[in-house]
């Protein structure tokens, strides 16, 4: 049987690869470049050494940014304070993995996610929706190994000379964010170590002068930074650098996993943090108040769907149509000042702005003042009619 494995090059998926080979599978290793700092030539070489019959490395950075991250942006997606950087990465990987499986007429797809976390759900729900006929292999739920030390011993017992250093925490990185979980992070009575970060300087070490940045939006998506039109992936990359050196985007969160277990994660999301802040504040002048109420009702539902692996569900796609429609008027420019982890608005402009200084100002009169009494009495008519 032929299987396509979502392969990262790390210990877990390397052990999975060897395990599947021993089970008699012909393994194609698939590695998605979604912006993680990785030597993909080394990853490819490693997969072949562990027994893969073929290794496919695809650059999915632009697809990830445009069709996943920026789609999610339109819904202001956020789950219990978490900006969903890992959650949104899984469907783009799974989709391409399934496409490869169909192209190479594979019988199954496999992943290296553990049986305790969220990623197993995200991968498998995507597989089930996109190619329900494919068999799903999840070795962490069936083999006898219980720890990563077990995996090291397993690989060594099979003749693979690997070095392994017990990690103090686990790291997941992509173009949108880096997450830090497990190990020393799990002690919620202790602060996180500031040296963990890969994208962001701790605010106390950030640029002393701060920095201005202007972002231009079109239909709810950023299209330019400081006047320069950029691709979606380049926008994220550029704002990661700008935000990172100004200490933007660190979040320390205890979230509720899909299985109900509480889990602590430290996240750095500098570029997206800036984009989300900018988009929400441009939205404040371009979207009607009642429509924003609907957004605020649906956004948590949308966010939970993403978190729990239901990106390809009908309900998420239906809600996406709603958020895409709203975003048609979220266009314009917003200038921000970044300083040691904080963001301040300097200016905002949109050709679709609903903000009217001549109407709202306390320095002007007009019909709106004379209409106020009727408006107020209409709102309060239920009080006037009561007899108690």
Which residues are the active-site residues? 12, 90, 119, 170
For tokens 């190990």, name the residue. 183
Q: Which residues pair with 228 in a beta bridge?
A: 225
The whole-angstrom separation of Cα 199 and Cα 250 is 10
- Provide the CA 60 distance to its chain's centre, in angstroms: 14
Tokens found for residue 240: 């990661």
Q: For residue 87, give the nearest of 242, 250, 316, 249 by alpha carbon.
A: 316
Query: Are the C-beta atoms of residues 255 and 87 closer than 8 Å to each other?
Result: no
- The size of the chain, in residues, is 388
Strand order of the β-sheet with 2-6 is 54-59, 26-33, 2-6, 108-110, 135-137
Strand, helix or coil for residue 381:
helix
| CB neighbours of residue 157 within 10 Å | 8
Tokens found for residue 165: 């250093």
**Distance linking the first and last C-alpha atoms of the chain:** 78
DSSP code, position 330: -
DSSP code, position 192: P
């Amino acid at each position: 049987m032929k299987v396509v494995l979502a392969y990262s090059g790390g210990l877990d998926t390397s052990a999975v690869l060897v395990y599947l080979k021993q089970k008699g599978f012909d393994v194609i290793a698939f590695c998605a470049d979604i912006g993680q700092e990785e030597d993909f030539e080394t990853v490819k070489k490693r997969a072949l050494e562990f027994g893969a019959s073929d290794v496919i490395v695809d650059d999915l950075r632009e697809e990830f940014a445009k069709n996943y991250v920026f789609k999610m942006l339109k819904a202001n997606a956020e789950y219990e304070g978490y900006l969903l950087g890992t959650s949104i990465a899984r469907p783009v990987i799974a989709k391409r993995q399934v496409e490869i499986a169909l192209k190479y007429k594979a019988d199954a797809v496999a992943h290296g996610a553990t049986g305790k976390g969220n990623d197993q759900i995200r991968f498998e729900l995507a597989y089930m929706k996109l190619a329900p006929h494919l068999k799903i292999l999840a070795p962490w739920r069936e083999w006898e190994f219980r720890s990563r030390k077990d995996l090291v011993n397993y690989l060594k017992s099979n003749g693979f000379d690997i070095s392994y250093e017990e990690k103090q925490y686990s790291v997941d990185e992509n173009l949108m964010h880096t997450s830090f979980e497990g190990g020393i992070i799990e002690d919620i009575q202790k602060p996180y170590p500031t040296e963990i970060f890969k994208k962001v300087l701790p605010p106390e070490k950030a640029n002393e002068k701060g920095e201005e940045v202007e972002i231009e939006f079109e239909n709810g998506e950023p299209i330019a930074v400081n006047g320069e039109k950029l691709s979606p992936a380049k926008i994220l990359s550029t704002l990661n650098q700008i935000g990172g050196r100004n200490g933007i985007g660190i979040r320390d969160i205890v979230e509720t996993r899909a299985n109900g277990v509480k889990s602590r994660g430290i996240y750095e999301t500098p570029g997206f943090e800036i984009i989300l802040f900018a988009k929400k504040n441009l939205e404040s002048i371009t979207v009607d108040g009642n429509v924003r109420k609907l957004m605020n009702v649906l956004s948590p539902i949308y966010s939970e769907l993403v978190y729990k692996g239901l990106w390809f569900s009908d309900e998420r796609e239906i809600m996406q149509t709603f958020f895409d429609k709203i975003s048609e008027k979220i266009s314009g420019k917003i200038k921000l000042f970044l300083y040691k982890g904080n963001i301040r608005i300097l200016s905002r402009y949109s050709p679709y702005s609903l903000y009217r200084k001549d109407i709202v100002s306390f320095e002007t009169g007009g019909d709106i003042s004379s209409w106020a009494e009727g408006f107020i009495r209409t709102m309060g008519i239920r009080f006037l009619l009561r007899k108690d």
